[in-house]
């Protein structure tokens, strides 16, 4: 019984490879030389290279929504709500505040929408509809989009059409 439980391990040693990764007496003598980068230099170089290739932070037509373009924090939302211009289109309510920075967008859900699952679904649908139509919106400023209760049941095509109409309204400056 003990014989079957044991694995066979050969007693012979395998010859070492010629370029084994064991340092010699003077430390690491071989291998590729490294140049030490300052903190964050690598990320900046990669990002700078990407920007050089795309001609900007990202290309028009890209459906990505980079994290730096998402508005975060209670204070940022409060400022847009208090100082921004209010728009409404279908199941989407929006506040827009002009400023010189790249457009940053915040996504919120009405308190009338009940349940975490439903709220998260509404927020995801709102974010996705914006992502699809993001190039129709102004290039600068801060924008908060609020999902109203009707958004939960609204057909996708209607939601995207509402987002398009909202973008056109923002560009034309028609406040409610």
pLDDT tens digits, one per residue of 107-164: 999 999 999 999 999 999 999 999 999 889 988 999 999 999 999 999 999 999 999 9
Q: Which domain holds residue 115?
A: 67-172
Q: Is the pLDDT of residue 101 over 90?
A: no
Mean pLDDT, the chain, integer? 77
In a domain, 29, yes or no: no
In a domain, 3, yes or no: no
In a domain, 91, yes or no: yes
Q: Is the pLDDT of residue 90 over 80?
A: yes
In a domain, 79, yes or no: yes
Q: Reduced to 3 states, what is the DSSP secondary structure of residue 29?
A: coil
Return d(Cα 46, Cα 42) in angstroms, integer: 6
In a domain, 44, yes or no: no
In a domain, 49, yes or no: no
CATH number of the domain that residue 145 is part of: 3.30.230.10
Closest-CA residue to 160 (of 111, 90, 99, 94): 90
Return d(Cα 158, Cα 111) in angstroms, integer: 22
pTM exceeds 0.75, yes or no: no
Domain count, the chain: 1
CA distances from 93 to 9, 118, 144 (A): 70, 18, 8
Proportion of the chain in helix, strand, coil states, percent, rounded to 5: 40, 20, 40
In a domain, 18, yes or no: no
In a domain, 45, yes or no: no
């Amino acid at each position: 019984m003990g014989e079957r439980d044991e694995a066979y391990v050969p007693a012979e040693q395998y010859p070492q490879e010629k370029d084994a990764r064991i340092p010699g007496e003077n430390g690491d003598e071989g291998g590729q030389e490294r140049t030490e980068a300052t903190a964050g230099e690598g990320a900046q170089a990669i990002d700078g290279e990407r920007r050089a290739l795309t001609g900007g932070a990202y290309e028009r037509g890209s459906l990505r929504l980079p994290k730096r373009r998402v508005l975060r924090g209670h204070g940022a939302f409060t400022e847009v709500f208090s100082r921004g211009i209010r728009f409404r289109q279908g199941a989407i309510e929006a506040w827009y505040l002009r400023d010189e920075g790249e457009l940053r967008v915040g996504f919120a859900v009405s308190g009338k929408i009940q349940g975490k699952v439903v709220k998260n679904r509404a927020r995801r649908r709102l974010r996705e509809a914006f992502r699809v139509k993001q190039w129709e919106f102004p290039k600068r400023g801060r924008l908060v989009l609020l999902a109203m209760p009707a958004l939960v049941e609204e057909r996708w095509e209607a939601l995207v059409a509402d987002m398009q109409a909202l973008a056109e309204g923002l560009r034309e400056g028609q406040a409610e």
